[in-house]
Structure 1
């Protein structure tokens, strides 16, 4: 990683298996609602530009594998900031404007899944209601659930 800003390694891409250096047969199988599975690595002091997934009508599920206790490592989604040291799990609508930031002196690793379907959304809200952040939702209920 020393010569790269960021790297991504995929197991599945838009529902299709990808030849990869990751040997994870548990993740290579077909999942009904999971369309993309990968690992994202950010080198030290690297960030994405502000972007969005205009054609990916999915929820993006991110899980930080090594949360760093640093206020300079976070993701911003539609004006809301999520710090990885507060919770390694973050779920958001990929069509919203977002930006990932790692301004620390360490590598940042996240597993990510792109998940389709309202059934999955309902399951996320039910089982992870305290940890699931829907950055676009203006209602008081979602706002209360995301407060610590």
Structure 2
């Protein structure tokens, strides 16, 4: 049974790695979060009611139409937040999901995270949070800013239970400001929206002199079967919700983010070791993974 489980895991991990045209280096993919989630993600793709493609037609999600129709109201609240300097990077190690993005200029203001609106969002963005509350399939939402010269390097999100929706609010209207999903580019425009599968490798860049602000949403992946939808909601509620990050005091902080500061100190030491003694770093890294696999699958 152990070897059957191992074979299923390796097969699913290989599928995740080979899926699409753009791939991570094998050494990076082995320890990427998406590898550990591979069996569950393959199940999500198999049960998906919408195509498991890079981009998905926004028309597949008619419940999102009010966001496009009222995009100018949403933009007004985003501009007010920017003027108040509330769309910002985290000043603490309490955003495990997006921590690496802050180093390259990306900023955010959470509107909700797999629950009701943050208190700060309900106070500062009442119209947007009320609109989001009326669309249950939107599980998480934020205003995301990509200032001039900023970039997000190649990455993939770990869990396939949602799809990513972007609505342009303040955009350069220039093809040099874009997101690239599995090698296919999309350039944001004011009032226009796009839906894509964030478990494909993607990257973003703003090579213009103008700012870019979007409404960024995680939308529940529609499922063919009730049991698959129930499983997806269970994982989101019990695990993804634990990555909640606050905008300010009084907002909820999930369990993963409460533990992230301690984990980050260990990670920083590991990164220093990789820079100074790369061979030792990779020997220890893959040695630990091998020891873990041996402990699980050795016929004791």
> Do the structures match in fold with TM over 0.5?
yes
In the TM superposition, residue 19 of structure 1 has moved relative to its aligned partner by 3.2
**CA RMSD in angstroms, aligned pairs only:** 2.5
Aligned residues: 118
Q: Which residue of 2 aligns with 1:112?
A: 216
Equivalent-residue separation in structure 2 for 1:115 and 1:85 (angstroms): 20
| Paired position in structure 2 for 1:77 | 181
Structure 1 unpaired stretches of 5+: 120-148
* Residues 51, 19 of structure 1: alpha-carbon distance in 2 compared, 3 angstrom cutoff: farther
**Partner residue of 2:115 out of 15, 32, 36:** 15
CA spacing shift, 1:117–1:71, aligned 2, 3 Å: closer
Alignment-derived partner of residue 126 in structure 1: none
Cα distance, 1:113 vs structure 2: 1.1
Q: Which of the pair has more CA radius of gyration?
A: 2
In the alignment, is the contact (CA less than 8 A) between 2:171 and 2:210 conserved in 1?
no
Distance in 2 (CA, whole Å) between partners of 1:77 and 1:69 is 19
Matches within 5 A, 1:1-148: 5-20=105-120, 22-24=124-126, 25-27=129-131, 29=133, 31-85=135-189, 88-118=192-222
Task: Say if 1:27 and 1:37, in contact at 8 Å, map to a contact too.
Answer: no
For 1:25-75, what per-residue CA distance to the aligned partner results, in whole angstroms no more than 9, with x for missing partners?
A: 414636421110111011111011111111252110101112323221011
Sort the Cα spacing of 1:85 and 1:31 in 2 relative to 1 into closer, same or farther, 3 A.
closer
- For normalisation by structure 1, the TM-score amounts to 0.68
SS at match of 2:215: strand
1:51/1:87 Cα in 2 relative to 1: closer, same or farther (>3 Å)? farther
Higher relative contact order (CA 8 A, sep 6+): 1
CA distance in 1, matches of 2:186, 2:192: 10
Q: Which runs of 5+ in 2 are unaligned?
A: 1-84, 90-104, 224-300
Change (3 A) 1:86 1:39: closer
Is the deviation greater in 14-23 or in 46-55? 14-23
Name the one with the larger helix percent.
2
Between stretches 62-71 and 15-24, larger displacement belongs to 15-24
